[in-house]
A and B are shown apart, each in its own frame.
Chain A
Amino acid sequence: MTDTEPGRDWPLWEVFVRGRRGLSHTHAGSLHAPDAVMALRNARDLYTRRGEGVSVWVVPAAAITASSPDERDAFFEPAADKPYRHPTFYEIPEGVRHL
């Protein structure tokens, strides 16, 4: 086929939707579109057709940097030597309320 010229595909966009009662935008999927306006319209039709959301973000996939799975363990190590990051670290005398 000559009508599919390589490299002419529209850029990829990642779609994030915030649901009606959702507190944050959640990754819903992705789509191809020539520009942001078309990406937004297509995302509306594709991912919110049944009232799934009230707010949509589209982001060029190329703008996203992801953490590497190979370094997952080291990268996300929860620093066990820093227990003071957790509320249970702190001892509060019995009977103190609203704390």
Chain B
Amino acid sequence: MAPTPPATAPAGPGPAAPPQDEARQALDRFDRAVAAETRIEPRDWMPDAYRATLVRQIAQHAHSEIIGMQPEANWITRAPSLRRKAILIAKVQDEAGHGLYLYSAAETLGVSREELLDRLHSGRQKYSSIFNYPTLTWADVGAIGWLVDGAAITNQVPLCRCSYGPYARAMVRICKEESFHQRQGYELLLALSRGTPAQHAMAQDAVNRWWWPSLMMFGPPDAESEHSARSMAWNIKRHSNDELRQRFVDICVPQAETLGLTLPDPELRWNEERGHWDHGPIDWEEFRAVLRGQGPCNAQRLEQRRRAHREGAWVREAAAAYAARHGAGGGTPAGPEGR
């Protein structure tokens, strides 16, 4: 990683409201930097709308990682073997880490994590629609790894080249870890698929339930995506929703074949002319209902997050009080080492 400025721009002479032509120059510089694929860094000037759309996207991405811990953690105590249990715990720990990287990236844009959590808790910001679906069987843990993390990777790999430096760097780190999650999910499903008939049926049932919601993770069709055009012009997004969805379908079909499982779409067929797999229509009504908060688990997910925050308040206060009494640096075990 190249030397980077600290995540949060420390206090200093901020960009004071410049006169008209200075604003134009700043915008020109910004446009040139984006066109030249140079990264925009926290203290660089950027259009307000660019800043706002990044705050929205990165924060909702962070929220998704945090809420996404719930459906999988649901199975930690019930994992069928110690190996599977250890893997699942490590994975959920990674998700927490991803949330932290992303909140840090969002904070470089001048918002506080506290404020973002408040927006999540009050429902003003969303998280990925996928985490509003329940994990009904152990096989769901595998389907989430394979399909949900697979869709996430397809979405996120292009974000490693996103124009905003801190976001791009967070994504590099996250993508490395997500690919391990996807592999563990695939391996889990493979074990079930090759197991007893009951295990095979459980794996197939999980794939049946998670396939369509996974396709919805890429967002609405291009024609209806309100942020797409601008995000693509700003190099925040590098490919359209439909392009990424198609890429994901093309990747999954042969993987399903190796698993010995089918995808629940009777219209799925190879299109020789396009060189892609055609798929059936997506139920956008369901997607919109989930986004409106009317999915199967919306209320439960949000309430669990609020409760954890509410019931953890006294612990956070205790930590703050302890730090205040002993000094923020108090009790450092050793000075900087390895100079």
Contacts and interface: CB of A to CB of B under 8 A. Distances in A.
Nearest to B118: A4
29 contacts: A3-B306, A4-B114, A4-B118, A8-B316, A9-B112, A10-B323, A27-B3, A27-B4, A30-B6, A30-B8, A34-B320, A35-B328, A35-B329, A35-B330, A36-B328, A36-B330, A37-B330, A37-B333, A38-B319, A49-B97, A57-B336, A61-B7, A62-B10, A64-B10, A65-B10, A65-B12, A66-B12, A68-B12, A69-B41
Interface stretch (B65-73, B99-107, B141-149, B261-269): B99-107
Contact of A8 (B101, B320, B330, B338): B320
A1 B7 CA distance: 27
Interface in A15-70: 18, 25-32, 34-38, 40, 45-46, 49, 54-55, 57, 60-66, 68-70
**Smallest CB-CB A-B distances: 4 pairs:** A30-B7, A9-B114, A35-B323, A34-B319
Given A27-B1, A36-B329, A40-B332, A14 B310 contact: no
Interface string B40-55: 0101110000000000
Contacts of B113: 9, 32
B326 interface: yes
A4 B121 contact: yes
A43 to B, nearest CB: 10
Contacts of A31: 100, 104
Given A4-B121, A30-B104, A36-B328, A12 B316 contact: no
A6 interface: yes
From A6, A32, A63, name the one whose CB has the most chain B CB atoms within 10 angstroms.
A32
A40 B331 CA distance: 11
A4 to B, nearest CB: 4
A55 B4 CA distance: 19
A27 B6 contact: yes
A1 B336 contact: no
Interface residues of B, number: 55
B13 interface: yes
B9 interface: yes
A3 B323 CA distance: 20
B14 to A, nearest CB: 9
A89 B7 CA distance: 39
B15 interface: yes
Contacts of B43: 66, 68-69
B10 A1 contact: no
B303 to A, nearest CB: 12
B122 interface: yes
B9 A66 contact: yes
A2 to B, nearest CB: 9
A66 B322 contact: no
A29 B7 contact: yes
A55 B337 CA distance: 7
Interface string B136-161: 00000000000000000000000000
A14 B7 contact: yes
A30 B106 CA distance: 11
B41 to A, nearest CB: 7
B8 A12 contact: yes
B230 interface: no
A55 B338 contact: yes
A76 to B, nearest CB: 13
Contacts of B45: 69-70
